Chains A and B, each alone.
Chain A
């Protein structure tokens, strides 16, 4: 049996929620003051996910960088793999919002897409 303490982000209250787990199964959630806290804590200990945002270089555009994001959330433990995977990517202008910069980034099955329009210089 092990326990983890989390800060709920459901609202500004920021309850400290304690999750008790046994054999990878959640057996108890305490400290939350509403159902949101329970749901957040269960997801956070079993399958935490995040949207990752970063930048890649652009050639021939009006700006030297374009910001990118994962098209949907990815497992939290893949954040650094994601950033590493796009480190050396260079795209050519024009870039449009939604353009795929790298498909299936770091084996997540999720595409890294442009999140800004960059016109040709």
Chain B
């Protein structure tokens, strides 16, 4: 069995930044395992611009952003294996090390012993099966991300006349992309009364091309036995059930689905990591360590992000802490305080903070459950209000954050709970 100090599962933006950070914090023996034929992950198919505004102060395309981190990995001589699928991660008897089982076409099935593992597998799109859309099952139904890969990387057009269900950012981006490649995008239907995508994408991907966005609408029928021939959408009421009499039929050959992303945690579950049912990602503490010592998580496998810049920041934290774990072993048992998300805050990452172990400042990220106008994000230590920040608007599609300082936390030696909530401004 081969040995590495840190094995990183996934060579996308999270895995790359975690590897660079772990190396820069003193770990030499690192292996990145990537199932695709190249590093970069999903960024390789995201050819639109707008990546890296925070990190590099310029608007890069996805592949450009990825290449900046790939170059850093190559410069440091960090090892990676492509076309390789991790099948299992498990704890080892009589050791705190982890066993990573992987396979590829040249090495077959093999095992690696690792002191620490960083989970950076990313997320997957919600599929038609998970959405329970009625109708036939013809060819021509794609997730927006699959269509994006076909058009941008493989050079194939999935169809000519398109209906899109879901107004997530990938769906909006693909509405523009398909239009530029000569397709007719007839409508984007969104179940919720608000879009799940960024405002900028609504304007530049739909409004620029006069593509209608129908909020509170969903697909109620798909026609066509061999190939999609038509899709029927209908308005939904506050209960999200279709309203009879509002049906509209669109002839089309393609239906794209952009209905949410789900962290891909099969491996996390196999090693026994505790999962937060709200995010579908691991529960982590301030060092982004999961419920299992030496297993860290970052990026979309932890919770789905809107901006890759935040993924990179998170991954740098995970890499740094994994390097510290390799050097010092498991942290001594320290008091962990839970962050309680209430009144509109759906979850927080991290969920636990160790006031004695944490960095001087810790960014806590979260999403809200509804659209809030002229409200504030309030933070309480026990029952004492610590901060209240006004926000003119908050929406589920845009991640929010609170920064907690170690010095402030340590003013509360009897701290039992931290509460983050949405309040009237």
Residues of B within 8 A of A52 (CB): 180
Is A83 interfacial (CB-CB < 8 Å)? yes
Is A65 interfacial (CB-CB < 8 Å)? yes
> What number of A residues sit within 8 Å (CB to CB) of B?
29
A-contacting 9-mer, from B87-95, B200-208, B228-236, B354-362: B200-208
Are the CB atoms of B203 and A7 closer together than 8 Å?
Answer: yes
B-contacting 9-mer, from A8-16, A21-29, A102-110: A8-16
Are the CB atoms of A50 and B63 closer together than 8 Å?
Answer: no
For the complex of A and B, 10 pairs with smallest distance between CB atoms = A116-B63, A67-B47, A115-B61, A14-B199, A9-B200, A13-B393, A65-B155, A51-B49, A64-B155, A83-B180
Are the CB atoms of A65 and B61 closer together than 8 Å?
Answer: no
**Nearest CB on A from B68, distance (A):** 10
Are the CB atoms of A65 and B153 closer together than 8 Å?
Answer: yes
Residues of A within 8 A of B155 (CB): 55, 57, 64-65
Residues of B within 8 A of A115 (CB): 47, 60-61, 63-64
The contact size tier of chain B is 20 to 34
Residues of B within 8 A of A7 (CB): 199, 202-203, 207
Are the CB atoms of A65 and B154 closer together than 8 Å?
Answer: yes
Closest to B70 in A: A117
Closest to B397 in A: A12
16 CB contacts below 8 A, A to B, read A6-B203, A7-B199, A7-B202, A9-B199, A12-B398, A13-B392, A53-B48, A53-B49, A53-B61, A55-B152, A64-B155, A65-B152, A65-B155, A69-B61, A97-B63, A115-B63
- Residue of B44, B180, B393 contacting most chain A CB atoms (<10 Å): B180
**Nearest CB on B from A41, distance (A):** 12
- Listed in ascending order, the chain A residues whose CB lies under 8 Å from chain B are 6-7, 9, 11-14, 33, 50-55, 57, 62-65, 67, 69, 76, 79-80, 83, 97, 115-117
Question: What's the Cα separation between A97 and B47 when bound, in Å?
Answer: 13
Residues of B within 8 A of A6 (CB): 203
